Amino acid sequence: MIAEQGPSCNEEERFSQLVSQYQRQLLHMCAMYLHDESTAEDAVQETFLKAYRALPQFRHDCSEKTWLMRIAMNTCRDMTRTAWFRHTDRRVTPEELQLPAQEEASREEDREELAQAIMKLPRKYRDALLLYYYQDMNQEEVAQALNISPSTVSKRLKHARDKLRTLLERRREI
């Protein structure tokens, strides 16, 4: 039996640093994407397993964070395609979401309202928003993570902000 190729000792140290550096960010991203913390933990574990196996082939044509986010988003997409996933209750309550520290909404009800509105966005807009605002990635990094052009990222962010604005205005009218 041929052993599967894995990273060298230096690469293993670097991988360990990647895990400690990005584990929390990936967990937050996957939880937002999958609407379930335990499923998100599984997705993060799967993401790191895939990254570990691919580490020797990583070409550094993007940042490690972008690379890991792309793997995580693809893993989450794969998980959402399973029959099991479609038949489980994955609703995330606003209380379970932790918004970034720089968030301007200071009142708890504003944060809850924003989180609910974000969760209602179509996936392509939500993905761009989550990576850009919650993972502090620039438009080029978001483009690499989503495998789209930077101009498409810009358009999706604009549409996402417009849709959020509309959703929030409708809620306030009620």
pLDDT of residue 63: 86
Domain boundaries in the chain? 7-92, 93-174
Q: Which of 7-11, 43-47, 54-58 has the lowest mean pLDDT?
A: 7-11
More confident residue, 38 or 89: 38
93-174 topology per CATH:
Arc Repressor Mutant, subunit A (1.10.10)
Instruction: Answer yes or no: is pLDDT of 50 > 90.
Output: yes
Instruction: Answer yes or no: is pLDDT of 86 > 60.
Output: no
Q: Which CATH class, in words, describes the domain spanning 7-92? A: mainly alpha
* C-alpha torsion 33→37→42→45, nearest 10: 90
More confident residue, 95 or 29: 29
Q: Report pTM.
A: 0.63
Q: Which of 9-13, 108-112, 129-133 has the lowest mean pLDDT?
A: 108-112
Instruction: Answer yes or no: is pLDDT of 76 > 70.
Output: yes
**Average pLDDT of the chain, as a whole number:** 79
Sequential DSSP letters for the chain: -PPPP---HHHHHHHHHHHHHHHHHHHHHHHHHHS-HHHHHHHHHHHHHHHHHHGGG---SS-HHHHHHHHHHHHHHHHHTSHHHHTS--PPPGGG----TT-S--SHHHHHHHHHHHHHS-HHHHHHHIIIIIS---HHHHHHHHTS-HHHHHHHHHHHHHHHHHHHHHHHH-
